Amino acid sequence: MPEWPRRINEEMRQHLDDEYAALRARGVSHDDAMRTLAGDVEAAASLRPRPVDSLTADVRYALRGLGQRPGFTAVVMLTLALGIGATTAVFTVVDAVMLRPYSYADMDRIVALAETTRAGQTMSIAWQNFQDWRAQSGVFDALGLYRPMVVNLTGGAQPERLVASLASADVFRALGIPPIAGRAFSRDEDGVAAARVALVSERFWRSHFNASADAVGASLTLNGEPYTIVGVLPEGMRFPSRLTDVWLPLGLFVPTFPADRGAHPGLFAIAKVKAGISIEHATAEMDTIARRLEQQYPLSNSEHTVAVVPYYEQIVQNIRPALLMLMGAVAFVLLIGCANLANLMLAKAEGRQRELAIREALGATRWRLFQQLLTESVLMALGGGLLGVLVAWWGVKAFVASGPSTVPRLDLVAVDLRVLTFALLVSLGTGIAFGLAPALRASAVELAAAMRDAAGSRATAERLRSLLVVGEVALAIVLLTGAGLALRSFAALTAIDLGFDPSRVVTLRVALPNARYPELPRWIAFHRELAARAAAIPGVEAAGLNSAVPLESGGAESEVRYEGQPLPKSVHEDATMCLFQAVTPEYFRAMHIALVRGRGFGAHDTADAPRVVVIEQSLADKFFGAAANPLGKRIAFEYSGGHGPMAQPIWREIVGVVGHVHHYGIADEPDNMQVYAPLEQLPIYFRERRPNMTLFARTALPPESLVESVRGVVSALDADVPVFSVQPMAAYVGQATEQPRLNMTLLMLFAALALALASLGIYGVLSYIVGRRTHEIGIRLALGATRADVLRLVVGQGMTLAVGGIAIGIAAAWGLTQLLRGLLFGVSPHDPATFAAIAALLASVAFVASYLPARRATHVDPVCTLRAE
Amino acid sequence: MQHMTAAPGLDRELKKGSAELLILSLVEDQPRHGYDLSKLIETRSGGRLTFRVASLYPLLYRLEKRGWIQGRWIEKAGQRRRRYYRLTTAGAKVLEAQRHTWREFVDAISRITGVEHA
């Protein structure tokens, strides 16, 4: 009798439903109707057919039920789609950046090394120090040295600028990445006798050689010199950067490294720690070597040690706090969503108690009812998850398209099988999370209680629902506070005076090939001419060049001294470090850098004229005191004859004082001093290592409109000079504020979602309570309560929930915002203004959410409610 | 099995036979669902005859198993599906036979008790 129990159960259930509806239509109260039907229900229960145990039946039943309530189902799915979608999107980024395995062998043994002061300031490695490290250390399988650089590729249709790196043979051994064609560098190529060979990326191999086997052995013209390709590295080789296309042997560049141990020429090391040796051990050994070198070379190495950082850490350490914060934020949103849905399901379950009681009477066990209810919520969660994946896919696409440069491995960020698995698990978990409590409660409903006296069980339900709302509000408070702090922090960041005006400035960098401009005068003349021609473009107000770019960090640093400065008493005494830059006369005017005293540079500051320098205010204050006039005094930041007692300072006369320009970033600007020398009096360091100069042109027009004419000036001067980084100065500011802006935007988005869900939660619970109390309110009104009393009663109930949630939320936020400290700038994680504003915001939203159902309550007609009795 | 509140004295066979007769005759002209059947029995008997849920549906099931009636799920717009029962050819024959038996039975009773029916 395959159809016996189910079919008859369905018919009987419908019959009882129809009977109930008919009784109610005749004005019989719910309780009386239930009492009348109780006999039938009990008789039906005595039939006790075999329970049908099948998931498909449950699924079919649940689907039919959901289809009958399209509004409810839509609200649930939408909430889930947003919650699961946001969680999945953030996970997609977390997975690509932090979880997906790297293609390097034994990633956990790969470490990045740099020199650092004991105070923690990192710098590149002196070539001489590196050689001592390699000779003295015994903890590494391979210890490689590299320097990222940019090369010009010529010989094709257009000159191209390629991201490149010089690399010693051990770089490839440390990373454990063999070439897919040809060979990597050999140890011989670390020496000065290296041949002009090159390795290229798989990407370059495809784009320039169509992945042909002939690439190995082919020739490339890089920076005007011919190189022979000896190998192709696979796609997984993303070192030093995922954009690197060419690797050149270290040995070729060894002659260009400064002979001075105190110089740090942009070299960094990557190594593989020997198996079985801990990173702590390696760090300790490197520190021992550093101390030995410190004793041996106190003038250059004093207070220096070695930073040994796991390579994985180096990649993720900057982005991790933001990612964890965002993961936390979306988890909160999802939790709030779950609380809302649990609430909705509880309300729904109450409406269905009669149905459930009948089903139980017809032989369904509690376990069966529980299963069935859970099936329903899990089904909805899966549906919501499916929509959520769409939301995530769209969100991730938009995120990747926005191209945040602070996110490593951005090209790997995509919704894939791993992400889909995650979404599936989250959906299942969510379905269980919001369906469990209602299912447990509903399935545990006592037959008698449901039939006769439901008041007690309703009170419990109301308490449970109120608790859920309090929790929701508390979670929303935490999220909103985080978002508020991020907003304040971002506002503080953008309010900082950068020392220059980035608006309406277009910048462009030129890479003059050394081979074409070997003589210094020609090199300088090119830039002089470029500045003049750029200034002559219609619409350009001023145009100047600088060897450094504000906010971009990097550049050349050196110890600066003033004439007559007492010699250091010990090697441990802090030297004053400065960033020196070479600029053309109009640079300060083009960037609107404040001239505090004296003058900028002029056409008369030629190579033959007395050496001059412009310094920043804080350096003048430090050397001469705020009251003194620094003009006419002399400083030196370069020395002939290297470090040590024999070093001869190259004095320059201070002719001007300017304001501080942010060079390292917006927030974390160290108090390094900046000095400027005229390009015509090029510092000797730059004579050996010619910098790529950047042109800054200020215009009255939108900067974008100038790009083509400025490019045209360069190609008119020399068509073979590659131009790059053509962008408005505002873009550099945008890049520097990118991560905080991203944090703020996403946090605000999630917080807004949380606020909307939480207010919906308050609204929903109050509507439910008002609906249930219509009768009571009617009696109150009949007994003389005013509408204002009713309004107060309901709003008061809503506000009690809100205030409870706000109080708990603020306490939780007080603890949790502490974790945001590293991501905040210029605002305390316990900023009272933010906390107060968020509490006020939520209180007012809660007020509105309570007011709407309250107003409905005041419209209750006492006569109607009493007549219904 | 079915419970006829207005006729507590009738014996089991009679009750059973009469209930079958009632249902078969009600689905003779048009297909009807269970709730409709129970309401019809209640109103046409002036509230003297009512069926309990727990007896009506198992009875419908048995009648269908015997091939006297045939049920079919019908879904109407905006309503949940209901099972409508119609009389089969076999059922029509049974109905005819039962009506005949019932008439003879009532006739016999009337003669004995002297009750004339209208």
CATH number at residue B103: 1.10.10.10
* Torsion angle defined by CA atoms of residues A247, A248, A250 and A255, in that order, rounded to the nearest 10 degrees: -150
- Chain A residues touching B54 at Cβ < 8 A: 12, 40, 43-44, 46-47
- From residue A714, alpha-carbon distances to A508, A532, A719, A726, B92 in Å are 10, 11, 7, 12, 103
Smallest Cβ–Cβ distance between A43 and the set B38, B53, B83 belongs to B53
- A104-108: list long-range contacts, CB under 8 Å, 24+ apart: A104/A175, A104/A176, A104/A177, A104/A236, A104/A239, A104/A311, A105/A175, A105/A176, A105/A177, A106/A176, A106/A272, A106/A275, A107/A311, A107/A312, A108/A310, A108/A312
Structure tokens at A446: 């006592």
Interchain pair B35, A15: CB under 8 A: yes
* Beta carbons of A44 and B61 less than 8 Å apart: no
B51, B57, B83, best to mutate vs chain A, most A CBs in 10 Å:
B57
Chain B hits for A18, Cβ within 8 Å: 35
Contact A12 B57 (CB under 8 A): yes
The torsion angles phi and psi of A524, rounded to 5 degrees, stand at: -65, -40
pTM of the predicted protein model: 0.70
Contact state of A43 with B54 under an 8 Å Cβ cutoff: yes
CB-based contact (8 Å) between A15 and chain B? yes
User: Is B76 an interface residue toward A (CB < 8 Å)?
Assistant: no
In chain B, which residues have their Cβ closer than 8 Å to the Cβ of A7? 61, 83
| Pair of tokens at residue A133 | 């490290």
- Low-confidence stretches of chain A (pLDDT beneath 50): 1-3, 49-51, 447-453, 869
DSSP state letters, chain B: ----TT-TTS-HHHHHHHHHHHHHHHTSSS-EEHHHHHHHHHHHTTTS----HHHHHHHHHHHHHTTSEEEEEE--TTS--EEEEEE-HHHHHHHHHHHHHHHHHHHHHHHHHT----
Helix (H) or strand (E) run with residue A796 in it: helix A787-816
Residue A402 to residue A422: CA distance in whole angstroms? 24
Residues of A in contact with B58 (CB under 8 A): 8, 47
Closest CA to A526 of A679, A669, A352, A753: A679
Question: Nearest CB to A14: which of B35, B52, B60?
Answer: B35
Report CB contact under 8 Å: B57, A14.
Answer: no
Contacts B82 to A, Cβ<8 Å: 14
B4 assigned to some structural domain: no
Give the H or E element holding residue A163: strand A160-167
Alpha-carbon torsion, ordered A403, A408, A413, A417, to 10 deg: 180
Q: Is residue B80 part of a domain?
A: yes
Asked if the Cβ–Cβ distance from B53 to A12 is below 8 Å, we say: yes
A46 interaction partners in chain B (CB closer than 8 Å):
54
Residue B55 to chain A, least CA–CA distance (Å):
8
Judge whether B54 lies within some domain: yes
Nearest CA-CA distance, residue A20 and chain B, Å: 12
At residue A757, the pLDDT reads: 85
Question: Contacts of residue B34 in chain A, CB cutoff 8 Å?
Answer: 11, 14-15
> Helix or strand or coil: residue A248?
strand
Per-residue pLDDT, A361? 62
The answer to whether residue A7 neighbours chain B at the CB level (below 8 Å) is yes
Cβ–Cβ under 8 Å, residues A90 and A327: yes
The answer to whether the beta carbons of residues A349 and A438 sit under 8 Å apart is yes
Q: Nearest CA of chain B to the CA of A37: how many Å? A: 10
pLDDT band of B6, cuts 50, 70, 90: very low
The answer to whether residue A25 neighbours chain B at the CB level (below 8 Å) is: no
pLDDT tens per residue across span A781-832:
888 888 888 889 888 988 998 999 999 999 999 999 888 888 888 889 999 9
Q: How big is the A-B interface in CB pairs under 8 Å?
A: 40
Best A7, A9, A10, A11 residue to mutate vs chain B (most B CBs within 10 Å): A11
A538/A697 Cα distance (integer angstroms)? 11
Flag if B83 and A7 touch (Cβ within 8 Å). yes
Q: How far is A385 from chain B (nearest CA, A)?
A: 29
Query: Is residue A554 classed as helix, strand or coil in its secondary structure?
Result: coil
**What are the tens digits of pLDDT across the range B52-101?**
787 788 888 888 888 899 998 888 777 778 899 999 999 999 899 888 88
User: What distance in Å separates residue B64's CA from the closest CA in chain A?
Assistant: 11
Of A18, A46, A68, the CB nearest to B54: A46
A positions 54-83 inside 8 Å of B (CB) = 68
List, for residues A236-291, the tens digit of each pLDDT value: 898 898 889 999 999 888 888 877 787 788 899 999 999 999 999 999 999 999 99
Closest CA to A290 of A488, A54, A78, A129: A129
Q: Is B1 within the bounds of a domain?
A: no
Structural domain contains residue B72 = yes
Nearest chain A CA: its distance from B3 CA (Å):
11
| A16 touches B: beta carbon within 8 Å | yes
CA distance B6 to chain A (A): 18
Q: Which of residues 81-110 of B touch A (CB under 8 A)?
A: 82-83
Q: Quote the number of domains for chain B.
A: 1
Domain hosting residue B100, numbered range: 12-113
Predicted complex ipTM exceeds 0.85? no
| 8 Å CB contact of A12 and B54 | yes
- In B17-36, the residues whose Cβ lies within 8 Å of chain A are 34-35
Which residues lie below 8 Å from residue B91, measured CB to CB, with a gap of 6+? B24, B27, B63, B67, B68, B69
A12: contact with B, CB 8 A cutoff: yes
Query: How far, in Å, CA of A177 to CA of A247, rounded?
Result: 13
Listed by start position, the domains of chain A span 1-50, 54-105+318-453, 120-302, 465-496+733-869, 512-721
Cα–Cα distances in Å, from A3 out to A351, A823, B31, B115? 28, 64, 20, 46
Q: Does the beta carbon of A792 lie under 8 angstroms from any beta carbon of chain B?
A: no
